[in-house]
Amino acid sequence: MIIWRGWGILAALIPAAFFILFAVVFGIGAKGTFLANPTLMIPVSGVCSAAMVWWLGRKLNSAPTRELVDPKTGQRVLLRNDHSLFWIPMQWWAIPIVLLAGVIVAGMVLDQH
C-alpha cells in the first residue's frame, strides 16, 4: 500500500520516469555514449530525478498558508499544502534517491576491482 498526500506520489513516479526516459533516449547499452554500461544509467537517472524531486517538492510545499476563522467560535484554522509520500514531505525523498544512486555507483566500482 502506498500512502501519499497531494502530489507526493510524484516522489516515486519521477525516478521511474527518468529511468525510462534515459533508457529510451540513450538506449540501453548504446555504444559511444556515457551510458554504454547500462548499470551506469541507474545512478545518472537517480541524481537527475533527485534534483527534480527536490525542486518540485520545495516549490509545491512552500505555497503560503491560508488562515480561516470560524465565525461562531473564533477558532483559527491554518490550511497549508502537504505533498508527501509516506508522511515524508516530497522534497526530502531526494536524499534517499541520491543515496541509493551512490550505493549503486559504489557497488559498480567495487565490482570492477
Domain assignment present for residue 42? The answer is yes
Domain hosting residue 14, numbered range: 4-66+85-112
93: cell is 525523498
Instruction: Please determine, for residue 9, whether its predicted confidence score (pLDDT) is greater than 60.
Output: yes
Q: What is the phi-psi region of residue 25: left when phi exceeds 0, alpha when psi lies from -120 to 50, beta otherwise?
A: alpha
Q: Which of 40, 34, 3 is nearest to 19 (CA)?
A: 40
Q: What is the pLDDT of residues 20-55, one digit of tens each?
A: 888 777 665 556 555 556 667 778 889 999 999 999
Tell me what pLDDT residue 48 has.
93
Tell me what pLDDT residue 30 has.
58
Domain assignment present for residue 103? The answer is yes
- Residue position matching grid coordinates 534515459: 22
Domain assignment present for residue 74? The answer is no
- Residue position matching grid coordinates 509545491: 60
Of 2-16, 23-37, 76-90, least confident by mean pLDDT is: 23-37
Domain assignment present for residue 73? The answer is no
For the question of whether the overall pTM of this predicted structure is more than 0.95, the answer is: no
Domain count, the chain: 1
CB of 38 closer than 8 Å to CB of 31: no
37: cell is 554500461
